[in-house]
Structure 1
Amino acid sequence: MPARTTDDQQVDSTLARSSPLARLVQAPRAALVWMKSNRLAALVLALASLASVGGLVIVTLRIAAGRQPEVQVTLQQCLEALDEGRYEEAVSLAETLRQQSQAEQQSGGALYVLGAAMARQAGEALLKERENKYLLAANYLEQARREGFPPDRQAEGLYLLGKSLYYSGQLAAGRPVLREALEFDAPWRTELHGLLAAAYAHGTDADAARALEHNSGYLSDERLSAEARHRGLLQRAQILLRLGRLSDCRTALERIPEQSSSYADALVLRGQLLLEEARRLKTKKDPSTQDQQAAQAKFSEALQTLRSAEAHDTLSAQATRKAMYVTGLCLLEMGDTEAATNQFIRTHALYSGTPEGLAADLEQAELLRLAGDHL
């Protein structure tokens, strides 16, 4: 074997230094040398490495935490919040419950809680917000009824649904629901009678006879407060007037004392009663002079009664606007067309956004048409 030359030894040395194993062995030594000569840079590099490792740990922990199972909302939690008057919490829980599987929704339970909470909040809301809240409550409760009210909530569900339908202006739809709710022995039976009386007394398909029946059911409750009884008597007088039972209407009105909050409205109704009595005398087949004089006397008494109603009215002015409109009708019946027209103009100007204001505007337009004035 030939002897190795110096050049061969240099080649072997170069190969050895450039081999992976050699570089692996020499790397720590070279790094140590670099760190000694560049201490500040080495410190920065070490801190950056530590931060990277810490960030990786945090991300890993967060991912692990995100994989933890979510806490499931139960219907019982929703109902407890509802019953304790924590309506916002009840709504939030019910919304979460709706997002869970259909099996966990438990027969419309979440929808029931949403509707019940909305209905109870509507009762405490401002007047301008109340109708919209009741409308939303009715929608939720109707869906809950189709899917099934929660156990032991059938009676209250029907009561709240019927009430929400009534106060959102859906009288025809509310009547059968209120009647069904009345079949249960529940603490709100008296209120249901009152709602049914009002629902049957109004609307295009009103039924005064059934309204009177439910009004009797309402007034039969001996536990009624004085003010609640007075409101019931006022409702009864309105129904009796619609039925043409004038004597019974007068009797009901006489039971409402002057100190009652319903007294101003009772005076308006008394004015309407006098107006109707005067009309009957005036429109007799062959009215005598005495009948005509009696009619004029009742017209005059009606005007005085309506002015008294305005004087007894509260800040809400509900009785006032009714009294002003009926005053216009009374003047019209008395043959004073000019005074009646002016009265309707004033009523519409003051209460244009109310039923009485709109009715006054229609009366005014009709009088102008008859007079040939189409302005």
Structure 2
Amino acid sequence: MAETTQSHSDDSSAAPSVSLVSRLKGIPVKLIDWMRTSRLRTIIVGCVSLLVLGVVFALWSFLAHEAIGHDDRVTLRQAYEALDDGRYERARTIVGELQNETAQSLSFGSALFILGVVKAKQADDEWSTGRSRAMHLVASRYLQKALAIGLPNEREAAARYQLGRSLILGNQPREGIAVFEELGDIPHTVLGEDASAEAERHALLMQAYLDSPNPRLEKALEHAKFAVEKAHATPRELYKAKLAQGDIFLRLGQAQLARQVVDSLMPPASDLLNESEKSVVQQVLEGRLAIETARQLPKADPQRKLLLNEAINELREAQRNDPRMGRNSRRAMYEIGVALEELGKLQSAVNQFDRVSKQFGDTNEGIAATLAEADLNLAQGRYQQALAGYRTALEAVSNPTTYVNELLSLPELRKRLLAAFQEFVDEGRFAEAALLVDQFNTVFDQGELVELTARTQEAWGESLLKKARSDDRWHARQTRQQGRHRLRAAGRAYEELAQVRYATRFYTDDLWQAADCYYRGQNYTNTARTLREYLHHEVRRRNSVALLRMGQSYLALRRPADAIEAFEECLEMYPRDAVVYQSRLECARAHQQLGNSKAALELLKSNLTGEELTPKSPEWRDSLFAYGRLLYDLDQYEPAVKHLREAVGRYPRDEQSMLAMYTIARAHHRDSEKPQKRLAAANTESERQQSRKQLTSDLEKAHRAYVEVQRLITLEGYGDSDPLHRTLLRNCYMMQGSVLFDLNRFEEARQAYANVSTLYQNEPFVLESFVKIANCFRRLNEPTKARGTLLQAKQVLERLPADADFRVATNFTRQQWGLILDQMSKW
């Protein structure tokens, strides 16, 4: 009964459970039935199902990632351990993974340190020297930033050591030396268990002192001695250390000490250095030693020649012992060229350097040989070959930052290039000098390039102006124009240099150079502008001269009022300066342009009557000429002739004398107008005779003066080349005819006018001479010849160029001349 009761109880408890399961199983069926009743319900159920599946998958992925990440998460400690074990790629990979972490979990200084060390290792493994240096520079930047941000104390010394190493290997010797000197004695954490890092530091410092812009050979020698004196040094290390020490002694010019080092060389064990390598290295050093010893002997010493020949034989033997044509063989070939040059066999040396250059163009020996060949070509006058050689050498120095060459340091390269540039300039090869400067951009900065360009153009311009003074009259004008063009180019270059060096003490000096070149190149607008800038920044030096030059420039630009302002400021501010006399002279010219003759005369009198100047001074001389011309312009002919005659008498060879003599002739001619007017107004025969006598005297004086000017111009050959003298010569012929006509000497007047018609057939001015000739024929009562002359004038008028400017030399246009000649032909 009890069992029955129990069984019944179990059955009753299972019934609700079965009923619950049945109900759960029915949910999907009911859901499907509910979904089928509407398309919208189907879409809703599908979207909900997809959403549930997505949530479940995301939750599973997150839990799996957390489980794995918790077990395999990388740390900075692991990166340091990989770095210390030499697993550089693993260390770099860990740092890359850590970069994905938050800033709180990553030490940026440590990350940059690890990346810098890895980059330095990659640079060590790089086969290309240039790329290796560039990569070391990148490594140094990582390490510098790491130290700036901060590192753990135990890593700071290592970072500084690696920084100094990368700087030196990246061709930044001065910066690397500074880092190592600041580091001092390397801590044990850097050295490890042995002194290899200390030895490397000395080797690096030795190389850094050798590769510095100004090599410090004594300091390099100190560090080279460390390897020689180091305890427990291997034979190979000792051998190489002594070779380095001997090389430094040679570069110091201490041949005897170098010889002692070479004699003490002990060959290392054969398993450490093979015999051929040992032989080549030592033979090259001994060959160089022989060359250096020979250099210290007088050229006439026979021992010198023997040593050089021994050096050549030793170096050729070294070359034969290096079948791989490696660095030592290249050095031997280069040193053979040096020995041949010392022997005076220049062409053989050129050929030797040419072989090295062609075979090993981009190597240190190839670059040094190319430059040496170019120097020899320049010394022998082969300018184009020299220029090509310098260009090739400069193309090989593509990046000065990573350029290292023990045969040709960057300062030495710059020094020799500047010497070549100066040689081109001294020899007058300015075009080649300019082309050479164009190639300097890789080894000189912008300021130096602009300065060299300015110097080239200035020297070029000065040379052309000097040449113009000795050229024949036909070419002098063109040569002067070319010279002034070059000086204007120099002015532009100096002005650009001033902008480049604006913040330096050279700024005002560069401005002055620019203004000076502009002035000599007759670019007066830029002269005035540059001098204003100069006076704005310079408060003391050259200010008086600057004001004078600025006033002269304004005067040349037809701005007399501005010129007077500059001159008067100069006179007021610097009354005791030597330039005041020239300022008075120029200021007088400016006043004359404005019509203020009284002020001009006073200024000129101050120069002529003052006690400071003597007739030997240029200012007194120019003032005397200017004073006579000014009196002429004021119609004071008698005192004008007096002063001009004094000027011509004192300075007969001065270039102003010719114009002064012509002005004297014009003064006599113009002075004849007074008796001519008196003659016309005379009431008595006595007055007429007296006036006629005075008129004849003045005209004859004028005629003699015209003839003298014509004779001097013709004899000295100025008439065909100098525009002023050509004009004076033409005017002298015409004025002679005019004077003779007034003297009633018509045949002589006709001959004088005929000279013009013969010499100036292609200029409009000749038409006026034909008219004068016709007038002379009429006075000679030969009307037929007069009409023939006018007919000839018409023919000349037709032949004159269509673009001839009649207004420049005559008072009429082409059409007006045609009408005048037609009208006169009817007389």
TM-score, structure 2 length as denominator? 0.37
Matches of 1:130 and 1:316, distance apart in 2: 22
Matches of 1:192 and 1:341, distance apart in 2: 40
- Residue 153 of structure 1: SS of its match in structure 2? helix
State the shift of 1:83 in Å. 1.1
Q: Judging changes above 3 Å, is the alpha-carbon distance between structure 1 residues 182 and 236 closer, same or farther for their aligned structure 2 residues?
A: farther
The residue type paired with residue 54 of structure 1 is L
The residue type paired with residue 137 of structure 1 is A
What is residue 294 of structure 1 aligned with on the other side? 303
Answer whether contact 2:350 2:373 (CA < 8 A) is retained.
Answer: yes
What is residue 57 of structure 2 aligned with on the other side? 58
What is residue 279 of structure 1 aligned with on the other side? 295
Q: Judging changes above 3 Å, is the alpha-carbon distance between structure 1 residues 109 and 296 closer, same or farther for their aligned structure 2 residues?
A: same
What is residue 617 of structure 2 aligned with on the other side? none
State the shift of 1:60 in Å. 4.8
What is residue 275 of structure 2 aligned with on the other side? 259
Q: Judging changes above 3 Å, is the alpha-carbon distance between structure 1 residues 225 and 155 closer, same or farther for their aligned structure 2 residues?
A: farther
What is residue 90 of structure 2 aligned with on the other side? 89
Residue deviations 1:46-95 (CA, integer Å, cap 9, x gap): 99986775345224544677899976653212101111222112112223
State the shift of 1:306 in Å. 0.7
State the shift of 1:126 in Å. 2.5
**1:309 matched to 2:318:** yes
Matches of 1:309 and 1:332, distance apart in 2: 19
What is residue 214 of structure 1 aligned with on the other side? 223
Matches of 1:226 and 1:265, distance apart in 2: 15
The residue type paired with residue 159 of structure 2 is G
**1:269 matched to 2:268:** no
Q: Judging changes above 3 Å, is the alpha-carbon distance between structure 1 residues 194 and 92 closer, same or farther for their aligned structure 2 residues?
A: same
Report the number of matched residues: 335
Matches of 1:135 and 1:359, distance apart in 2: 25
Which of 138, 141, 151 matches 1:139? Answer: 141
Matches of 1:30 and 1:114, distance apart in 2: 62
Answer whether contact 1:78 1:93 (CA < 8 A) is retained.
Answer: yes
What is residue 172 of structure 2 aligned with on the other side? 170
What is residue 818 of structure 2 aligned with on the other side? none
**1:236 matched to 2:245:** yes
- Residue 153 of structure 2: SS of its match in structure 1? coil
Q: Which stretch of the first structure deviates more once superposed, 110-119 or 142-151?
A: 142-151
Answer whether contact 1:325 1:347 (CA < 8 A) is retained.
Answer: yes
Matches of 1:319 and 1:174, distance apart in 2: 28
Residue deviations 1:140-160 (CA, integer Å, cap 9, x gap): 111112223323123322221
What is residue 373 of structure 2 aligned with on the other side? 364
Residue deviations 1:313-363 (CA, integer Å, cap 9, x gap): 363610111111111111111111111111011010001001211121112
Q: Judging changes above 3 Å, is the alpha-carbon distance between structure 1 residues 75 and 371 closer, same or farther for their aligned structure 2 residues?
A: same
Answer whether contact 1:230 1:262 (CA < 8 A) is retained.
Answer: no
What is residue 124 of structure 1 aligned with on the other side? 125
What is residue 15 of structure 1 aligned with on the other side? none
What is residue 41 of structure 1 aligned with on the other side? none
Answer whether contact 2:35 2:45 (CA < 8 A) is retained.
Answer: no
The residue type paired with residue 370 of structure 2 is D
Which of 249, 258, 268 matches 2:258? Answer: 249
Q: Judging changes above 3 Å, is the alpha-carbon distance between structure 1 residues 68 and 199 closer, same or farther for their aligned structure 2 residues?
A: same
**1:318 matched to 2:320:** no
State the shift of 1:33 in Å. 12
TM-score, structure 1 length as denominator? 0.78
Answer whether contact 2:276 2:322 (CA < 8 A) is retained.
Answer: no
The residue type paired with residue 150 of structure 2 is G
What is residue 527 of structure 2 aligned with on the other side? none
Identity %: 30
What is residue 565 of structure 2 aligned with on the other side? none
The residue type paired with residue 147 of structure 2 is R
Runs (5+) with no aligned partner, structure 2: 1-28, 38-43, 268-273, 386-827
What is residue 153 of structure 1 aligned with on the other side? 155
The residue type paired with residue 53 of structure 2 is G
Matches of 2:357 and 2:266, distance apart in 1: 30
Q: Which stretch of the first structure deviates more once superposed, 125-134 or 364-373?
A: 125-134
The residue type paired with residue 171 of structure 2 is G
Matches of 1:165 and 1:111, distance apart in 2: 16
CA RMSD of aligned residues (A): 3.3
Residue deviations 1:77-136 (CA, integer Å, cap 9, x gap): 210111122211211222344554555444711111111222233333334443233222
Matches of 2:109 and 2:47, distance apart in 1: 56
Answer whether contact 1:271 1:302 (CA < 8 A) is retained.
Answer: yes
- Residue 288 of structure 2: SS of its match in structure 1? helix
For the pair shown, the structure with the greater C-alpha radius of gyration is 2
- 1:330-349 alignment to 2 at 5 Å? 330-349=339-358
Runs (5+) with no aligned partner, structure 1: 1-26, 36-44
What is residue 42 of structure 1 aligned with on the other side? none
Answer whether contact 2:76 2:106 (CA < 8 A) is retained.
Answer: yes
- Residue 152 of structure 1: SS of its match in structure 2? helix
Q: Judging changes above 3 Å, is the alpha-carbon distance between structure 1 residues 54 and 323 closer, same or farther for their aligned structure 2 residues?
A: same
Answer whether contact 1:115 1:140 (CA < 8 A) is retained.
Answer: yes
Q: Judging changes above 3 Å, is the alpha-carbon distance between structure 1 residues 150 and 266 closer, same or farther for their aligned structure 2 residues?
A: farther
Matches of 1:33 and 1:83, distance apart in 2: 67
Matches of 1:48 and 1:95, distance apart in 2: 41
The residue type paired with residue 319 of structure 2 is E
Matches of 1:87 and 1:107, distance apart in 2: 18
What is residue 690 of structure 2 aligned with on the other side? none
- Residue 209 of structure 1: SS of its match in structure 2? helix
Q: Which stretch of the first structure deviates more once superposed, 62-71 or 264-273?
A: 62-71
Q: Which stretch of the first structure deviates more once superposed, 103-112 or 266-275?
A: 103-112
Q: Judging changes above 3 Å, is the alpha-carbon distance between structure 1 residues 297 and 51 closer, same or farther for their aligned structure 2 residues?
A: same
Matches of 1:95 and 1:33, distance apart in 2: 53
Q: Judging changes above 3 Å, is the alpha-carbon distance between structure 1 residues 244 and 367 closer, same or farther for their aligned structure 2 residues?
A: closer
**1:115 matched to 2:116:** yes
Q: Which is bigger in relative contact order (C-alpha 8 A, separation at least 6)?
A: 1
- Residue 275 of structure 2: SS of its match in structure 1? coil
Q: Judging changes above 3 Å, is the alpha-carbon distance between structure 1 residues 151 and 343 closer, same or farther for their aligned structure 2 residues?
A: same
The residue type paired with residue 271 of structure 1 is G
Q: Judging changes above 3 Å, is the alpha-carbon distance between structure 1 residues 313 and 363 closer, same or farther for their aligned structure 2 residues?
A: same
Q: Judging changes above 3 Å, is the alpha-carbon distance between structure 1 residues 34 and 174 closer, same or farther for their aligned structure 2 residues?
A: closer
Q: Which stretch of the first structure deviates more once superposed, 90-99 or 353-362?
A: 90-99
- Residue 295 of structure 2: SS of its match in structure 1? helix
Q: Judging changes above 3 Å, is the alpha-carbon distance between structure 1 residues 67 and 321 closer, same or farther for their aligned structure 2 residues?
A: same
What is residue 354 of structure 1 aligned with on the other side? 363
Residue deviations 1:284-316 (CA, integer Å, cap 9, x gap): xxx5xxxx2111110110001111221233636
